[in-house]
Amino acid sequence: MATTDSARPDPPSERRAPAREMSSVARSADGRRIAYATYGPPDGDPVVFFHGTPGSRRLGALLEPAARANDIRVIAPDRPGYGRSPPQSGRTVGDAAASVRPVLNDLGVERAALVAFSGGAPYALATAASLGDRVTGVDLVAGATPPSFGDDTPAVQRLLSGLAAATPSVLGALLRGQAWVASRADPSFVVAQYAEDADAVPEDAATVVKEDFLAAFERHRNGAVTEFRDAGSDWGIDLDAVDAPVRLWHGTDDANVPVAGAERLAEALPTAELRVLDGADHLGTLLRAAPEALSRSR
């Protein structure tokens, strides 16, 4: 089922305030460090947030005001090879739960909802398929879709996936250079990758997006190279194993992930609802959908 939402977002001053990040580290079964941050009240209903590709725990700061308003505790891990989480040799999309389960256990959380942005979508679906009834629901916000769902993948995404598969060291060097430029540039340099009009994005949100991008490459580039490679191949997820209800939020003007892919993904999932946001681009979908997605995850 698909519905269209033409409502515009609230003014930025009503939606965001300085985020208060609490960072910690969990240990996986094989001893890996998994860095994560939490936002919102510590006793709030738990929601695991999956950042994009590239990305980091810092993007969870965009959800902090909505988390406080809805009594939600946002748990935002750095996936392996991003931020402060070291790379995981040979990891695949299907391994996602191995980096989420330890975080939930570290916090004493038995069940949680999942919210994913952009390239975090396949990892949220894989986690839901693996953790079963520990997952109460899944929200995919401007989520990536399987490459097998069509040939409308933007050319730049196909290029990045091709480089990651054929010449990962070249892509790593390009990402290192991009991060160096971003560290010295205005936030709009990074925001322009996700928004049609970077200057229209609120300053506080733009600052978080830049911080997220830089934190992604704080210590590694392996995470992005691995995920760009996996984005262009079969995800290896049994979508029929996703028992939790899934909501997809997608903008009509999303140039990063065209809405047609979200329509196909919604049809392929056992229980899914698609909300189409009129006029929203990639980042705009996150800014508009996050408050309602969190409020409905309780």
For the cut 50, the answer to whether the pLDDT of residue 286 exceeds it is yes
What's the pLDDT at 6? 53
Q: Is 2 helix (H, G, I), strand (E, B) or coil?
A: strand
Confidence category of residue 71, pLDDT binned at 50, 70, 90:
very high
For each of the domains in the chain, give its residue range(s) and CATH number, in order of start: 2-296 (3.40.50.1820)
What's the pLDDT at 143? 98
- % of residues, the chain, pLDDT over 90: 87
**What does the pLDDT look like over 257-272, one tens digit per residue?**
999 999 999 999 999 9
Average predicted confidence (pLDDT) for the chain: 93
What's the pLDDT at 149? 81
For the cut 70, the answer to whether the pLDDT of residue 17 exceeds it is no
**What does the pLDDT look like over 138-162, one tens digit per residue?**
999 999 999 888 667 888 989 999 9
